[in-house]
Amino acid sequence: MTPPATITDDLITRLSRHVAASGAETIASVEVFTGETLATLPCSSVRDVADAVHAARVPQARWAELDVRERMGVFERFHKLVLDERETIADLIQAETGKARRYAFEDLIEPAITTSHYLKAAPRLLRARARKGMMPLAIKATELRQPKGVVGIISPWNFPFALGMSDSIPALMAGNAVVLKPDSQTALSPLYGVDLLYRAGLPEGLITVVLGDGPTVGGALVDNADYVGFTGSTRTGAEVGARAAARLIGCSLELGGKNPMIVLPDANVAAAVDGAVTSAFANTGQLCMHIERIYVHESVHDAFLAKFVDATRALKLGARYDYQCDVGSLISTRQRKAVAEHVDDARAKGATVHVGGGSREDLGPAFYEPTVLTGVTPDMACFAEETFGPVVSIYPFRDEEDAIALANDTSYGLNASVYGRDLDRARRVAHRLRAGTVNVNDGHAAAYSSMDAPMGGMGSSGLGRRHGVEGLLKYTEAQNVAVQRVRVIPPPKAIPYGRYTGIMARSLRLMRRIGLR
């Protein structure tokens, strides 16, 4: 299989110009379906990262001076370009990730949805807001939202276009510059997104890409940026957070998950199976919000399991640049081996493999079958550790309290799901789950696609939120500008301080009585 005709040497050369790299060192990515070289791109050094951040400060200062509505025109045009060029973007995403094309489409469409939301919300959220001063009429306070400066975005390989662009867009809208470090294997699609931003009229130098070894280049970005957004593993996220804290800069961390689904006794079993298949095997299971644990009430457990196994067996695997396949490849042979180790460990310790459980190297070097397990116990690696592949375990439960306890028995807290016909009951269960997003009668998409609501994790799943109000305002500093019209702090020199204390006490009592404070 050859890469699509849209991926040309001229395109790769053009995209390479957006990488900050001064040396001759290069880095190669592969076409995942075949394992053959897809592109060779410049590699950045630690000095290149520092220089990229420094160079971004001049255009960032000019950009921040513009009224937010002036900045929005760039993103109106970017939104249109993403939709117009969706087939080229999908080709790039598929070639560098190996995912099925339907998930490449979901990858590329998410930044368009994010952009559309903040085009409406950003002018409102970023405007100056009058706040009550200590003494009405005497003091006027105004809350301003100032950009952080240069924001470092470190994005992962599983949704390279979505997470690279959707984290960069609100940062840019808020008046910042961005230095983006995507995973080197999946740099082409975010580079194409950067190219589209410049074609949309973004001033030169406001977004730059750095590429290279994660600990080295990513570490240098944390050491130089004014704020950091990171999506990746919990272990690396903890290191990023500690490094940011040492510099007293803020960070947002979306990390791992071991996400549960609860199927209540009154659930529509067929609907629950459909939702579970999608949420377990979407993006070949390489989705931070995907379901890895399914808890099914014992009264419907057997029916659910039988239908779920049949639906899983019916999924079509393949390496195709069209919409004919349901499940694509894993990102790499390394990831395939890690998934296989979890399944082999569970099988060796007594778990039952109902479907799947094997590599499919006949389809490509990193393919692994969608796999359904039962009988998984705490001594098995896949019981508590994130597998991040097309593997799901199913467990029976006795009652509602049992289900909630099982679902919450994890250090993670990213996403969860509840299925049930009685929506009041399902919501009550959802409210008791310790996860940043909880879906009722859906696996993950309902919460993630609700752009006006926050999305992020609790516990080992991270800090901060994307989407919603926080998804934009986290890239700003709140500034309070207070203007004293009449001197009340400190008191006028003509009033003795002892008398002033009495006046202030009476004034505060009066304001409290009439509801001003």
Catalytic residues: 254
Cα 470 from Cα 280, distance rounded (Å): 28
CB 74, CB 202: distance < 8 Å: yes
* Environment class of 399 (CB within 10 Å of its CB; exposed 0-12, middle 13-18, buried 19+): exposed
* Environment class of 316 (CB within 10 Å of its CB; exposed 0-12, middle 13-18, buried 19+): exposed
Cα 156 from Cα 123, distance rounded (Å): 29
- Locate 228 and state its tokens: 């950091």
Pick from 333, 330, 360: which is nearest to 97 by CA?
330
Give whole-number Cα distances, 367 to 74, 98, 161, 330, 341, in Å: 40, 9, 22, 6, 14
Would you give the DSSP letter of residue 215? I
Cα 516 off chain centre by: 42
Cα 355 from Cα 379, distance rounded (Å): 22
Cα 371 from Cα 388, distance rounded (Å): 12
Tell me the three-class secondary structure of 111-172, residue by residue: HHHHHHHHHHHHHHHHCCEEEECCCCCCEEEEEEEEECCEEEEECCCCCHHHHHHHHHHHHH
Read off the amino acid at residue 320.
R
With a CB cutoff of 8 Å and minimum separation 6, the contacts of 317 are 325, 326, 327, 328, 360, 363, 367, 369, 370
Pick from 405, 437, 42, 130: which is nearest to 257 by CA?
437
What is the secondary structure of 339-408 as a DSSP string? Answer: HHHHHHHHHHTT-EEEE--SB-TTT-TT-B--EEEES--TTSHHHHS---SSEEEEEEESSHHHHHHHHT
* Environment class of 65 (CB within 10 Å of its CB; exposed 0-12, middle 13-18, buried 19+): exposed
Pick from 241, 313, 244: which is nearest to 273 by CA?
313
Cα 44 from Cα 271, distance rounded (Å): 48
Nearest 10 degrees: Cα torsion 222, 225, 231, 233:
10
Cα 31 from Cα 27, distance rounded (Å): 14
The b/e string for 234-272 (b: 16+ C-beta within 10 A; e otherwise) is bebbebbbebbeeeebbbbbbbbbbbbbbbbbebebeeb
Cα 517 from Cα 509, distance rounded (Å): 9
